[in-house]
Amino acid sequence: MLLRDAHNRIIRDLRVSLTDRCNFRCFYCLPNGEPPMARKETILTFEEIAEICEIFVSLGIEKIRLTGGEPLLRKDVESLIEKLAKLKFQTSNSKFQILENPKSKIQNPKLKDLALTTNGFSLEKRAENLKKLGLDRVTISLDSLKKENFKKITGVDKLDEVLTAIEAAKRAKLEPIRINAVIVRGWNEDEIVELARFARETEVSMRYIEYMPLDSAHEWDRKLVVSGKEIRERISQVFPLILKESSRGAETAWKYAFADGAKGEIGIIAPVTEMFCGACSRIRLTADGQLRTCLFSTTEHNLRDVLRSGATRTEIVEFIQSVVMKKEASHSINGKDFAPASRSMSFIGG
């Protein structure tokens, strides 16, 4: 049984936000810090997250990405990774159950990919162990290679730590390593080429992301968006690129190789100027247990209450299926009546 929405898209990709909190203050995300913390009891426990993930995997979810806020701020995230990694080994005749919970019933599908998006702040020392526990790969955010600019963008003076984290992730083989860079006019578009050089030298996949209207300060302005086209052109002038595949499939990024054969990869994610909703295969779970069918949704669906009401597995599955059926055909950033998402990026889980 697969999760299929009303527009015939199959949902394969679950993003789980582990916390709303963050120790960075990226101006495009959480510039003024978090509002008073959500009540602790509203945040899903690791047992609840594992139970939900197991059900999603039984419904055909193949990729799970842990994100936030800063997911590594959540205490003992390692124990959750260990639980979720077991979803990669389920088989139809497995006696193995990740949870001692009668609602948990092992079915055929398996998790194929367990990933984590992090600002890298505390990754260096933890990378190796995370890999051992079953994390497949990491995406690390890096918007600038200049110390001062990094500090201006993120609010913290931690460029060296992030660069060290990238090295540690490489050593731990948390690969393919992706680096996310949000490009914003007047802030870091002058670093586009240097970031591509970094991708070549460190042999990572550099993902350039258009600035989206998801900042908590609501200061997004279309004039600040550097389009995917402009990013591609700026890189190509110095490092000619070859498109890897003519179609993105369910991927959000257009992927490019360097024409001269250098290692490393360029990915361009352009949700504002080159909408990719038609192939979207994602669903999101917030730290407080709300299902979101789109980054830009203005409504959420309270899975936490369903789970905590003692619902049977069948009831939980039916709830998830009914939510998936409500998945929006597309976002409307470019429409006249665009309404900002009900929560900002750090709460939704990027």
CA pair distance 208, 140, nearest whole angstrom: 12
Based on the shown chain and the rule CB under 6 A, indicate whether residue 13 belongs to the binding site for ligand SAM: no
DSSP H helices, 16-146, are 46-58, 77-85, 127-133
If one asks whether residue 58 binds ligand SAM (CB under 6 A), the answer comes out as: no
CB 49 within 8 A of CB 19: no
Residues 25, 82: Cα–Cα separation, whole Å: 29
Q: Smaller CB distance to ligand SF4: residue 25 or 146?
A: 25
User: Is residue 206 a contact residue for ligand SAM (CB under 6 A)?
Assistant: no
Hey, which residues between 27 and 66 contact ligand SF4 (CB under 6 A)?
A: 29-30
Contacts (CB under 6 A) with ligand SAM, residues 28-57: 28-29
User: What does the alpha-carbon distance between residue 287 and residue 74 come to, in Å, rounded to a whole number?
Assistant: 10
Asked whether position 120 contacts ligand SF4 by CB under 6 A, the answer is no
Q: How far apart are CA 114 and CA 348, in angstroms?
A: 19
Q: Which of 335, 258, 347 is nearest to 295 (CA)?
A: 347
Which of ligand SF4, ligand SAM, none does 169 bind, CB closer than 5 to 8 A by kind? none
**Binding segment (CB under 6 A) for ligand SAM, from list 21-29, 104-112, 129-137, 186-194:** 21-29
Q: Min. distance of Cβ 216 from ligand SF4 in angstroms?
A: 9
CB atoms within 10 A of CB 114: 21
Which of 212, 225, 231, 294 binds ligand SAM (CB under 6 A)? It is 212
Q: Which residues contact 91 (CB under 8 A, 6 or more apart)?
A: 108, 110
Q: Does 346 bind ligand SF4 (CB under 6 A)?
A: yes
Contact partner, 136, from ligand SAM, ligand SF4, none, Cβ < 5-8 Å per class: none
Residue with tokens 């200061």: 219
Task: Give contact residues for ligand SAM (rule: CB under 6 A).
Answer: 22, 28-29, 67-68, 70, 117-119, 141, 180, 182, 209, 211-212, 214-215, 345-346, 350
